[in-house]
Amino acid sequence: MFDKVLIANRGEIALRIQRACKELGIATVAVHSTADADAMHVKLADESVCIGPPPASDSYLNIPRLLAACEITGADAVHPGYGFLSENARFAEILEEHNITFIGPTSEHIRIMGDKIAAKETAKRLGIPVVPGSDGGVSSEAEAMKVAEAMGFPVLVKAAAGGGGRGMKVAMTAAELPLSLSTARTEAKAAFGDDAVYIEKYLTKPRHIEIQVFGDGQGNAIHLGERDCSLQRRHQKVWEEAPSPALNEAARARIGDVVANAMRELKYRGAGTVEFLYEDGEFYFIEMNTRLQVEHPVTEAITGIDLVLEQIRVASGSQLSLTQDDITFAGHAIECRINAENPRTFRPSPGQITYWHPPGGLGVRVDSGVYQGYRIPPYYDSLIGKLIVHGKTRNECLMRLKRALSEFVIDGIETTIPLFNELIRQPDIANGLYDIHWLEKFLGKP
Ligand code: ADP
């Protein structure tokens, strides 16, 4: 097992990883920018290293500085969390070259899945059903038009290097396609430095259902069921739950088996998420994330498995301690992403938290990196915490969520809590009847 893990991240996820390390008796190193000197993940770590000024490119994304921090502290492994360098194959490679373990999959798997065109081809080869679309990238407008017309409109132009919902443009008709194509390309070039795009059938009423997988790189792999992340705004998840209100046991077992078999064949190592759109009883692969997800706690709640602890165990060379038969699902869990934003306009609301009272009680978990008096810096994403509730049934879970939200007090900044208070009162939410467009339609209403 590792002696010391450096956590190359900030905020709630840095703290989440620290907790797992501490329970394994591993020393922790926090890194931080000058803007995060007072952050909770810094205060609670065994050691901390300042790695640069506020811009992420000069700190959390700066590989030489992170390497230096490893060197200075003698860390023997790095956990990248999510975002930042978590899906940077080069970072994983460089660490291995320095004999520091990257807690995650091989750089080869990160690279394949980071290119959505290669990822889709790999998924297809492994027997995973994919969204109909172009065979690889499209290089010209004429080619795009040919593919789209053969498939029928609407279509979606997507960036091969895409992430965070960027570089994605819908074309409802042939007339819209040229503009969608050029906008997606420009956006992708600006965000990822790569303007390769491909075309997919635009599904009009799917749910976003993703399967949590886990492998040990030695040919053992399991799935830990699904999460339903259909409540989205601008292709970004807002609320996640497990199990999905739309799946029955047979559908879950069917897709779970397909995915676990594929991961076995790939000899995948560590935690991963295979994302699907689900419409009319069919699953369509969209992408795979080769890292821990923001919404992993809902899976932890219904399986009782600490995913970060397993990540660390497997990265240290242990075999998977669980078989598929060991995985059972108990109850229902929902996560709400608490952002420092206006709950209607979603304008970021950084500033000082003058009062902080998180909810508690049975089945309530709050993962957050903030505290009373903490000043939220304006440089990073606006997630300040996650409220995760667990109940025996979905209904119990909803009642508990309502109760927990009513206890949550955050003063000094605006948060998305009022949005969740509204959502739990909607009959469609109570009945689990929502697709990926539901939230935007709801927000569009006066
Ligand atoms: P990113 O990596 O940018 O998050 P994804 O491929 O994971 O992009 O897609 C994000 C979201 O965009 C999905 O959850 C879904 O809401 C929407 N989306 C993606 N592909 C399609 C599609 N073919 N049809 C309809 N919606 C889609």
Contact 389, 404 (CB under 8 A): yes
**Ligand 1 mean position, distance from CA 165 (Å):** 7
ipTM: 0.98
Atom of ligand 1 nearest to the CA of 206: 25
Q: Which helix (H) or strand (E) holds 219?
A: none
Q: Could you say which of 3.30.470.20, 3.40.50.12500, 3.30.70.3270, 3.40.50.1820 is the CATH number of the domain covering 207-443? A: 3.30.470.20
Q: Is 222 left (phi over 0), alpha (psi -120 to 50) or beta?
A: beta
The answer to whether 208 and 232 are in contact (CB under 8 A) is yes
Residue extent(s) of CATH 3.30.470.20 domains in the chain? 207-443
Contacts of 98 (CB under 8 A, 6+ apart): 67, 70
pLDDT for residue 400 = 98
Distance from the CA of 234 to the center of ligand 1, in angstroms?
10
User: 210 CB less than 6 Å from ligand 1?
Assistant: no
Tell me what pLDDT residue 117 has.
Answer: 96
Q: What pLDDT score does 431 carry?
A: 98
Question: Mean pLDDT by 10-residue block, N- to C-terminus, for the chain (446 residues)?
Answer: 98 98 98 98 98 98 98 98 98 98 98 97 97 95 96 96 91 97 95 95 97 97 98 96 97 97 98 98 98 98 98 96 95 98 96 98 98 97 98 98 98 98 98 98 87
CA distance 151 to 158: 16
Q: Cα separation of 97 and 195, whole Å?
A: 30
CA 208 remoteness from chain centre: 13
CATH fold for the domain made of 4-103: Rossmann fold (3.40.50)
The CATH superfamily assigned to 132-201 is: ATP-grasp fold, A domain (3.30.1490.20)
Catalytic, 344? Answer no
CA–CA gap between residue 140 and residue 382 (Å, rounded): 37
Say how many Å lie between the CA of residue 275 and the centre of ligand 1: 9
Q: Which residue lies with its CA nearest to atom 11 of ligand 1?
A: 235
- Index of the ligand 1 atom closest to the CA of residue 232: 16
- For ligand 1, the distance from its centroid to the CA atom of residue 274, given in whole angstroms, is 12
User: What per-residue confidence (pLDDT) applies to 446?
Assistant: 61
What is the model's pLDDT at position 273? 98
Q: Is the CB of 93 under 6 A from ligand 1?
A: no
Burial (CB < 10 A; 0-12, 13-18, 19+), residue 127, is exposed
Of the residues 185, 207, 252, 291, only one is catalytic, namely: 291
Question: According to CATH, where is 3.40.50.20 located in the chain?
Answer: 4-103
* Ligand 1 contact via 286 beta carbon (within 6 Å): yes
Distance, in Å, from the CA atom of 113 to the CA atom of 170, rounded to the nearest integer, reads: 23
The segment(s) of the chain belonging to CATH 3.30.1490.20 are: 132-201
Give residue 395's pLDDT: 98
| Bridge partner residues of 352 (DSSP) | 375
Whole-model pTM: value is 0.97
What dihedral do alpha carbons 377, 382, 384, 385 form, nearest 10°? -170
3-state secondary structure of 47: strand
